[in-house]
Amino acid sequence: MKMKIRAFCSMVLAMAVYSQSAFAVVYPLPEGKSRLVGENLQITVPEGNKLPLEHFAAQFQMGLSNMLEANPGVDVYLPAAGTKMIIPQQLILPDTPHEGIVINSAEMRLYYYPKGTKTVIVLPIGIGELGKDTPFNWVTSVQRKKDGPTWTPIKAMHAEYAERGETLPEVFPAGPDNPMGLYALYVGRLYAVHGTNANFGIGLRVSHGCVRLRADDIKYLFDHVPVGTRVQFINEPVKATIEPDGSRYLEVHNPLSATEEQFNSSEPVPINLPVNVCHVLVDPSVNQSTVDQALQRRSGMPENIVAQGDSSQTATVQVQPVDESTITEGPDTEQAQQGNAAPVTLQTSVPEQSGTAVPVDNTAPIEQATPAAGDDGQTAQ
């Protein structure tokens, strides 16, 4: 009964978010040392659907990578009518201070902890493409904000475009066609958290290192995040928690490719388990078969690794058809699949799978971001 009530409350929250065209999924912070929040939702693609997956992702404040992890095999361009899709709104909060902004590149989510509240706001993001990665293992702050930013491409971008026979303007003027969108929060001297003129890139590796958000999301951050707010960049594809009742949960995302070989390979990127995750897994109560399956599935959703059988909890919501003319662009399929995708299934009760062993490295090296210098308004985009 308790789980049904929680699922119902999550459904009501999600419907409120949709009906009010709200900007985010807002979670109350759990009590004590708990880090598990939210409940997953289930929707059915309406009859006559002519809209891409991005539409459903945006409707429930998800990125494409989150939807692809939770719904393996779904058509990015046109999800089939009648298809049941999971909206992965249950998650484990990152093992970081509940302060300011936390950006986890691996799961392509931004967490904002408004000061003086007991809530966390979770927003989907687009991040840097391979070789132009968004920083991680870096703590900085919001140094300034800009309403109507202009974009001054750095020299490396001019050279990159020139190699393709294209020319970039010296400065992109402010406006809806600006790749930085309508608002920007500048962090460090090169990077920014900003909007976009291409929503299909939310949940993908598409930028030159900056963090992209949908228009309503960046508008909210611009209006509510003060200059000086702490910003922490991390890259943690695996999260785990020990809950107050003794249950243990594991959330596994596909790690970001670090090399061209990994990016182009059909093999999953190896997972390195950090010490704090291993601490959760090394316990007699943990079902190691469930752990192995979760590491192979990489569904991006928390799984109870103590309980036997199906540990998923979902609430069902109705989705109404929408005029497809409101959607004018779609993602590159290969790029979408390379975002965070991996072969996954939804249930934890599937037969044990065999496959490549998952390498474990408890002492992964830390990379320190070193932002490059730039002119005022000059960013990686």
Sign of CA dihedral 367, 373, 377, 379: negative
The span from the CA of 101 to the CA of 19, in Å, is 26
Angle at 11 between CA 219 and CA 103, to 5 degrees: 40
DSSP secondary structure string, 235-301?
A: --SEEEEE-TTS-EEEEE-PPPP-SHHHHH-SSPPPP---HHHHHHH-STTS-HHHHHHHHHH--SS
- Catalytic one among 55, 208, 210, 253? 210
The span from the CA of 339 to the CA of 263, in Å, is 9
Q: How many other β-carbons are positioned within 10 Å of the β-carbon of residue 364?
A: 12
**What are the angstrom distances between the C-alpha of 167 and each of 150, 154, 181?**
17, 13, 20
The backbone torsions φ and ψ at residue 177, rounded to the nearest 5 degrees and listed phi first, read -90, -5
Please say if 210 is a catalytic residue. Answer: yes
The backbone torsions φ and ψ at residue 22, rounded to the nearest 5 degrees and listed phi first, read -75, 175
- Catalytic one among 55, 194, 208, 253? 194
Partners of 44 in the beta sheet?
84
Q: Locate the DSSP E strands across the chain.
A: 25-28, 36-37, 40-44, 84-87, 91-92, 100-104, 109-113, 119-124, 127-128, 138-147, 183-187, 191-194, 205-207, 211-212, 230-234, 238-242, 248-252, 303-304, 314-316
Please say if 55 is a catalytic residue. Answer: no
Q: Locate the DSSP E strands across 34-114.
A: 36-37, 40-44, 84-87, 91-92, 100-104, 109-113
Partners of 138 in the beta sheet?
233
The span from the CA of 221 to the CA of 159, in Å, is 32
Active site residues: 194, 210
